[in-house]
Structure 1
Amino acid sequence: MHSVKFTALSCAMLGVFALSADAFAMGGPSGPSTNYIMQGHLGEVMMNPYGTAPLTAIIRDNGYTLHDVTVRIVPKPNGYDLKYKVSDAQLLTHGGIPVFGLYPDYLNHVEVTYTRELRGKRETMTDTYQLYAPPVYTEVAGIPTERHALFGVEVKKVDPEFKDRLYYINNIAEKSGIGTRAVWNNPAGGALQWNFWPQNAVIDTKGDIRWFLFANPIYDLNDMYQAGVMMGFKQNDDGMISWGYGQRYVKYDIMGREVFNRLLPYRFNDISHSVDDAQNGHYFLRVASSNYLRPDGKHVRTVRDVIAEVDQNGVVVDEWRLADILDPYRDNVLKVLDQGAVCLNIDASMAGKTLTDEELAAADKSDAFGDIVGTGAGRNWAHVNSVDYDPEDDSIIISSRHQSAIIKIGRDKEVKWILGSPEGWKKGWAEKVLKPVDSKGNPIKCEGSKCEGDFDWTWTQHTAFKIDEKSKGDIIYVSAFDNGDGRGMEQPALPDEKYSRGVIFKIDQKKGTVEQIWEFGKERGHELFSAVTSLVEYQPDHDSIMMYSATSGAEYDLKTGAFATAPNPTIFEFKWGSTTPSVEIQLKDCTGYQAWPFSIEKAMSQEVLKK
């Protein structure tokens, strides 16, 4: 009796659901169907379809072939109106309409206009989908400065012509008790203990987060082959994102779809800082040697001093072993570095301290190898933080933080030029140091590491990039973020005298001269000082210069020079030649590495994919 009543009730309930077939399709005796909530005239919605991008979704095509798709995320009050077209290639790849840019912890309204086709019949339609997206989530270290979901944002200025910008932020979480627990020990050395949880997001010019990387599915601090600092993010010509971390280099699209996720070739270890997507489709990886045989017969893992070139299939086609190309015993810069901030190895107890000749000599004679300041292979003597391939002469341009030098090296492994202080370069390298000139080509007088007028070398700089669009033949333009530690081969009397700047140089490669044509930051003084990290890069779409002062804005203990609070990085963008920012956006309570304009148009484009 009870069984009969239950069956009758169940059938009645199914009848109710059948009355709402537009919203629900429950399946059953009528044949194959679906049993989830449906909206609009297409198929089901897949939130976070690939597991690593929670503010994305796919509206499935429901068996139709889709064309002429436009997506609009209806903005919050006073928000940024995000609208983009989707290529047929992207629609086929994702099996529906890729949705990017949902607001976190919010019921988003998504307008989609499209043409759907089935067996020759076409219909043009517009639907509005209501999609709730989850809050931003990241792993934390449990410290007081972690007051925001990733970071806070204060928009100070955005000129109208830059309001369409989206900025990709590559930040790095604080050290935590579950990270930085592993070290290489066979052979000695390496930098595996350099291990911080990733913080990556895209923000709009209203300051809202519109995408973030949920790294957990591809990241594991307990596995040395799944961890490491995520760095070197770039949007490739095909619109996808490449980067490296620990012992891996990877490529994903903005929806989170994996293109490749590869272990480094066994000859190398410890990728960080830079993955350059070259014009020939190859990748130039800033790695280190997994087994370097020193002249004294010792085997070591080196630290941030090898460039590997790999093709599209991950095959190594060339390498630059810098300990064999440069002078790994040049110690002028090493002796004036602030030992409290050797890149991300922040140690407040060492703030303001420099190495004496005796201390450096003792370290070099010891068997201490690894991510430590010192000369010779197996120690952090070079600290290369960017690589840029120049197809004009088949060379690479590198930024060596611990040599305070930007260096161009050919395919033949010969140094073409050195942009940096002439102090300490021995014969064979000294002749390659560029000579400063003014706008008329007249030599600028320099003594030691200091020059007359506004010209200055870069000091512990980051991101030395050739500006292809402005360069021609032997005349090239190079941008860099001059961090400024050890400026003039010395530490200042007071820590607040330090400053950082963005800078652009014009180099005559034939004459061996360099002219400084633009700088910004010196006038702001210590306010923009970034002891470590940061970026300056030309943006052709707006004929502009992007600058990310990535560890500035912290409060300092002026007695020790150490961070008293978390940094508050600042994004700047300038029209070419201007020193008045068109964009100024400050992030709050975070440690930045790099940031750059992200193009959703390129990410969803078919034209680029057909190259």
Structure 2
Amino acid sequence: MNCRKTALLKTGRVARLVLCSAMLGAAIPTMALAIGGASGAHVDYQVQGKLGEVIMNPYDIAPLTAIIKNGGYVLKDVTVRIVPKKDGQEIKYQVANKHLLTHGGIPVFGMYPDYVNTVEVEYSRLYNGKWEQAKESYTLYTPPVYTEPNATKTQKAALFSGADVKKVDKKFSDRLYFVNNFLHKAGKGTRAVWNNPTGGALEWNYYPQNFIVDTKGEVRWYMNANPIYDLKSIYNAGVMMGFKQNNDGAMSWGFGQRYVKYDIMGKEVFNRELPAGYNDFSHSMDNSPNGNYFLRVGSSNLKRADGKNVRTVRDVIIEVDPSSGLVQDEWRLFDILDPYRDVNFKVLDQGAVCLNIDASKAGHTMSAEDLAKQDANDKFGDIVGVGPGRNWAHVNSVDHDAEDDSIIISSRHQSAVIKIGRDKQIKWIMGSPEGWKKEYQGKLLTPVDSKGNKIECEAGGSKCPGYENDEGGFDWTWTQHTAFKIDSKSKGDIIYVSVFDNGDSRGMEQPALPSMKYSRAVIYKIDQKKMTVEQIWEFGKERGNGWYSPVTSLTEYQTDKDSVFVYSATAGADFDINTGAFKTDPNPYIMEFNYGSKEPAVEIQLKDTTGYQAMPFSVDKAFTK
């Protein structure tokens, strides 16, 4: 009787199979021998080139990357070139020794999606005590871009449906732009809210769309977030925001209840839950020159003056040590600022309160009666309103000024940029003077012209010459995003700050027609000793409502090219005013300006994607330095 058949039919299957193997002896090789064993371990799949195997998407979250393993050799003097498509943008970089050692081979970055890429590598390898030089090509297919479906009419099949490259000056032709976008809310990710205690912004949950685009409009990297992200998990979801490329080339950011750092190949540096006393990260994770990270979070449990316990919303800054994760300091803004200043709430367009966009409420504002009802009904959470436990501050950026150990914050719902010292004392407030209590009046900056003369502003100080749709003059920022000090141009008491002025509630009012709204990228010169502010550059008025971004966006100086990068991230969305339904997603603008220029050197418009922020990405930082 067949030995194997006997073993399967009777009990004691394992023992009988072993016995059968012994009986058959060398006539039939065992499974172990078939895999390797005495015949030796070997690679039994296709291998290109003179080195080892190629590992595609080596860390699971970056499908357009690969590692050409070193094959057991010592490598040095490595150069990688991604052969461009016809008339495409070349990506070429040298690889520092630390990256060759870390990845066990040559990291490949910048391939095209759904394409058979040609990757050229040059290197020296050590074999039998001698260095051999080599140059070879690898042919690597990469998958199409992927994004989670969310059952909305406006979602496209691809990562985004295209890019319109309008202008790229030669100086910027080697640029790569990291784009931080996301999908609309979906049923999968809106299943929970905090209730112990009440409040917070847990339901703020959007699937990410993070990618790198070149100056030809081609995607050269994208994130498959699923291995580190789960829309259905309280502690593994949220809105991915606050991306920064660190000096070591790796990317840091946060989402929901986590803050993380990964290199661009997808290798984890750290991935941590927020410290237990804090919740709901979003918007900003600043990597300070002092080596620490400054995170914008909320308090997990605050006892208000009325005895109620709440989770707070976007109004706490913490400083964490990157190695230990220990909290070094905190800025509790509800103790430092006035959480009951309500003048801005009464003029905010309720149709676009950051990402909570509801076209059916476009043009609607809140009254004092509406705000009073919130208190009377104990309504807390991610809602516009006064007092801790509501979205009274909506801080969307924090920038640590290491020169005087202070933080500069952008508070959207106060339409103010504010500097606060390590001692938790306010140094200055840049914003309309309306509605600030007496104790804050001495901290307000005075607008001046280029000669230092005071600019007289009307309507309680909210309407300055230039706030309307004309050139020149001065204007405050309104529901702004990002306030970053330009370190290389600042010195001592004279500092320069870049801001994206979204423009809702400009002049402390809603305009007669929605089409009159516009956004600006703007740079201010601040004399911290004289307590004055001068507007030295702006862009956006001339583009009018077509460039208007009601929410999100960024303006940031770039040292490497002495330029100003701007992302108007929610411009160009079309919606039905009667039903509140969006006909299209936004069509964001990527722009870069030579410093001081009024015309962009780069203009690329993305299509049908909800944008948050973007920035130039440095391949040299990532691999060469």
TM class by shorter chain equals over 0.9
Which residue in the other structure is 2:203 paired with? 193
* Counterpart contact for 2:399–2:407, Cα < 8 Å: yes
Match of 2:293 among 276, 279, 283: 283
* 1:63 partner SS: coil
Alpha-carbon distance, 1:28 to partner: 6.7
Match of 2:55 among 30, 35, 46: 46
Alpha-carbon distance, 1:557 to partner: 4.4
Partners of 2:128 and 2:343 in 1: CA distance:
73
1:424-481 per-position Cα deviation (integer Å, ceiling 9, x unaligned): 0101211101000000001001122011242000000000000001101100000000
Partners of 1:553 and 1:135 in 2: CA distance:
27
* Counterpart contact for 1:305–1:384, Cα < 8 Å: yes
Partners of 2:299 and 2:584 in 1: CA distance:
36
* Counterpart contact for 1:505–1:515, Cα < 8 Å: yes
* Counterpart contact for 2:360–2:578, Cα < 8 Å: no
1:294-350 per-position Cα deviation (integer Å, ceiling 9, x unaligned): 011100000000001001221000000000000000001011100111100111221
* Counterpart contact for 1:107–1:130, Cα < 8 Å: yes
Which residue in the other structure is 2:108 paired with? 99
Match of 1:127 among 115, 133, 136: 136
Indicate whether 1:437 and 2:448 are aligned.
Answer: yes
Which residue in the other structure is 1:258 paired with? 268
Which residue in the other structure is 2:227 paired with? 217
Give unpaired runs (5+ residues) of structure 2.
Answer: 1-34, 467-472
Partners of 1:70 and 1:148 in 2: CA distance:
35
Aligned-residue RMSD, C-alpha: 1.6
Which residue in the other structure is 1:552 paired with? 571
Q: Which moves more between the two structures, 250-259 or 420-429?
A: 420-429
Which residue in the other structure is 2:558 paired with? 539
Which residue in the other structure is 2:318 paired with? 308
Which residue in the other structure is 1:156 paired with? 166
Q: Which amino acid aligns with 1:404?
A: S
Which residue in the other structure is 2:510 paired with? 491
Alpha-carbon distance, 1:30 to partner: 4.8
* 1:533 partner SS: coil
Which residue in the other structure is 1:20 paired with? none
Alpha-carbon distance, 1:364 to partner: 2.7
1:200-257 per-position Cα deviation (integer Å, ceiling 9, x unaligned): 0001001110000000001111110000000001101110000000000000000000
Which residue in the other structure is 2:357 paired with? 346
Indicate whether 1:323 and 2:334 are aligned.
Answer: yes
Partners of 1:85 and 1:145 in 2: CA distance:
41
Which residue in the other structure is 2:81 paired with? 72
Which residue in the other structure is 1:15 paired with? none
Indicate whether 1:425 and 2:433 are aligned.
Answer: no
Alpha-carbon distance, 1:527 to partner: 0.7
Partners of 2:118 and 2:330 in 1: CA distance:
50
Alpha-carbon distance, 1:558 to partner: 6.2
* Counterpart contact for 1:480–1:504, Cα < 8 Å: yes
* 1:93 partner SS: helix
Match of 1:293 among 303, 309, 325: 303
Partners of 1:600 and 1:148 in 2: CA distance:
28
* 2:117 partner SS: strand
Which residue in the other structure is 1:406 paired with? 417
Partners of 2:128 and 2:570 in 1: CA distance:
57
Match of 2:118 among 109, 113, 125: 109
Which residue in the other structure is 1:34 paired with? 43
Match of 2:187 among 174, 177, 182: 177
Partners of 1:451 and 1:558 in 2: CA distance:
31
Partners of 2:576 and 2:443 in 1: CA distance:
40
Partners of 1:29 and 1:211 in 2: CA distance:
43
* 1:525 partner SS: helix
Which residue in the other structure is 2:97 paired with? 88
Match of 2:538 among 489, 495, 519: 519
Which residue in the other structure is 1:415 paired with? 426
Indicate whether 1:571 and 2:582 are aligned.
Answer: no
Indicate whether 1:479 and 2:498 are aligned.
Answer: yes
Alpha-carbon distance, 1:542 to partner: 0.6
* Counterpart contact for 1:27–1:34, Cα < 8 Å: no
Indicate whether 1:459 and 2:503 are aligned.
Answer: no
Q: Which amino acid aligns with 1:286?
A: R
* Counterpart contact for 1:439–1:515, Cα < 8 Å: yes
* Counterpart contact for 1:340–1:562, Cα < 8 Å: no
Match of 2:523 among 504, 515, 518: 504
Indicate whether 1:529 and 2:540 are aligned.
Answer: no
Partners of 2:245 and 2:581 in 1: CA distance:
34
Partners of 2:419 and 2:227 in 1: CA distance:
38
TM-score, length basis structure 2: 0.92
Partners of 1:78 and 1:27 in 2: CA distance:
47
User: Identity of counterpart residues, as a percentage?
Assistant: 70
Q: 1:63 to 1:322 in 2, by over 3 A?
A: same
Alpha-carbon distance, 1:31 to partner: 2.6
1:473-528 per-position Cα deviation (integer Å, ceiling 9, x unaligned): 10000000000000011001110000001000000000000000000001111011
Q: Which amino acid aligns with 1:490?
A: E
Which residue in the other structure is 2:469 paired with? none
Partners of 1:241 and 1:383 in 2: CA distance:
24
Alpha-carbon distance, 1:32 to partner: 3.1
1:51-90 per-position Cα deviation (integer Å, ceiling 9, x unaligned): 0000000000011111010000001111111111100000
Which residue in the other structure is 1:450 paired with? 463
Q: Which amino acid aligns with 2:292?
A: H
Partners of 1:357 and 1:544 in 2: CA distance:
43
- Number of aligned residue pairs: give it: 584
* 2:442 partner SS: helix
Q: Which amino acid aligns with 1:441?
A: G
Which residue in the other structure is 2:12 paired with? none
Partners of 1:222 and 1:255 in 2: CA distance:
26
* 2:335 partner SS: helix
Which residue in the other structure is 2:607 paired with? 588
* 1:488 partner SS: coil
Larger Rg: 2
* 1:432 partner SS: coil
* Counterpart contact for 1:352–1:560, Cα < 8 Å: no
* Counterpart contact for 1:352–1:561, Cα < 8 Å: no
Alpha-carbon distance, 1:176 to partner: 1.3
Match of 1:333 among 340, 344, 348: 344
Partners of 2:373 and 2:37 in 1: CA distance:
79
Alpha-carbon distance, 1:148 to partner: 4.4
* 2:100 partner SS: helix
Partners of 1:440 and 1:253 in 2: CA distance:
47
Alpha-carbon distance, 1:605 to partner: 2.5
Indicate whether 1:234 and 2:253 are aligned.
Answer: no
Partners of 1:400 and 1:410 in 2: CA distance:
16
